[in-house]
Amino acid sequence: MLNSFYRKLLFIYISITVVSILAISGTIGYTMNKNTYERSEKLLLEKVEQVEALAKDLFDNTLVQKDFRKQIATIERTSNVRVSVVKHPKSNQDKFLSVGETPVRKEWVDKVLSGELVTVRSNFTQNSNVEMLIVGEPVLIENRVVGGIFLYTPIENIQGMINGINRAILISDFFVALLAVALLYFVSRHFMKPIQLMSKRAEALALGDFRGRVAVRGKDEIASLAGSLNRMAGKLEKVEESRKRFLSEISHELRTPLTTIRASLQGIVDGVVEPKDAHDFIQVSLGETLRLSNMVDDLLQLSAFEEKQVKLDVQEVDMKALMALVVTQLKMKAKARHIELFTEEEKKLVVFGDADRLRQVLINLLDNAINHIPVGSSAGIRVNKVKSERWIEVWDNGPGISPDKLPHVFDRFYKVDESRNRSGAGLGLTICKHIIEAHGGSIRVDSQPGKGTVFSIFLPTSPMTNL
């Protein structure tokens, strides 16, 4: 029955409401019953005072017994009470005769004649089974008890009033509960509707549909949850788009070398290629195989960084020495293209990082510069101070990068100049960005067509990693 969160929530709301209504009704009923009895006792006490005044006139001989009985009968008839007047045994009122019935309990009479007030609920006479509300009070003349007065009325009269009150409370409870249940039903549906929509959206996400979003209304916890779900859907959509783009890009990158290898080997096997040319085709196939191997290595390295599975050997690194080493490594390649390389010789910079990874970044950036700038240009590595920070810059004075291509230089498989970079897979700059960010640093690129390109790297001078 309670197999859904909505039904459980509604059941809890209704249970709390019903229990609250019963508790409030019980409290009101108890209070009303108590007040009804207290009010009835108060009315009886008021009538007792009236009868007491008549009794004093009777004992003072101001009022004759016949008139006394008539007035008592009038009080009984108009007030729906019964009156009993008893004389004190030591009273000298010999002509006075007791009025009404004798109480069933002698101790009541004794208490009243001793000067005490009596209030009880019981049958008044021996032969009656009707429960009465009984009030007894002594009659005092000159501080001397001369008699006692008892007034009593059937409890059923009071109970009738109480039953009427209880019926009114029960009817009110019924309509209040009915209204509350109806209100809770619609309120619960109102609160559950966004949760149900989020549940459907989550199921759609599980099935691979990342396009839909949940409407966010208000600023409460449910709205916050809806916003989180929308953000998650947006990220999943981006991940899916990235995955599809990656598959498309990697398929494109793999297709060319595989086609070349297949065509070369197929030509050799079919005998189309002359024996004297077979060696050249094998060399081409070997080159494409090495390119595929390098691509796989780059992809594995990139995946390790993205999944934060790379361990850095963090230690103090003298960037001046590292920069000089990188320039030395690439000097021969630059010399072959008549490109002059420069390095910073004056400013010293010590950072905390993995020296091998940082060298990989500098080699990649400077090698890219050598590959893309024309013959006779220059490039290098320097340290530039910007405000209180020091940046490592890999620069060149080549043709630069066009503004439309600049935002994509760190994207996977992106090549600024396809015609001049056929050997690479377009993963080098992406890996560089991941390496720098893994060190807790940042990398950016600035370029102006015709004026050159500068890759700026910021590294913290204290140990810090994002892995």
Q: Write down all domains in the chain, each with its CATH number in brackets.
A: 5-160 (3.30.450.20), 221-306 (1.10.287.130), 315-458 (3.30.565.10)
The rounded mean pLDDT for the chain is 80
d(CA 447, CA 427): 20
Looking from the CA of 219 toward its CB, the CA atoms found within 13 Å total 0
Distances (CA, A) of 62 to 66, 92, 461: 12, 15, 116
Q: pTM for the whole thing?
A: 0.51
Cα–Cα dist 100/126, whole Å: 14
Query: Residue 268: which pLDDT band, with cuts at 50, 70 and 90?
Result: confident
Helix H or strand E segment including 74: helix 65-79
379 pLDDT tier (thresholds 50, 70, 90): very high
Q: What is the pLDDT of residues 269-318, one digit of tens each?
A: 877 777 777 888 888 888 888 877 877 777 777 777 777 777 888 888 88
Among the ranges 26-30, 132-136, 320-324, which has the highest mean pLDDT value? 320-324
Residue 1 pLDDT more than 50? no
What pLDDT is stored for residue 455 in this prediction? 92
The 3-class SS string of 208-221 reads: CCCCCCCCCCCCCH
Do residues 107 and 134 touch, judged by C-beta distance below 8 A? no
Residue 455 contacts residue 433 (beta carbons within 8 Å)? no
Helix (H, G, I), strand (E, B) or coil at 95: coil
Judge whether residue 342 has pLDDT over 50. yes
Ranges 143-152, 294-303, 345-354, most confident: 143-152
Q: For 233-261, what is the mean pLDDT?
A: 76
Q: How far, in Å, CA of 423 to CA of 292, rounded?
A: 10
Between 360 and 130, whose confidence is greater? Answer: 360
Task: Express each pLDDT in 175-216 by its tens digit.
Answer: 888 888 888 777 777 777 777 777 788 788 777 777 777 777
> Residue 380 and residue 362: Cα distance in Å, rounded?
10
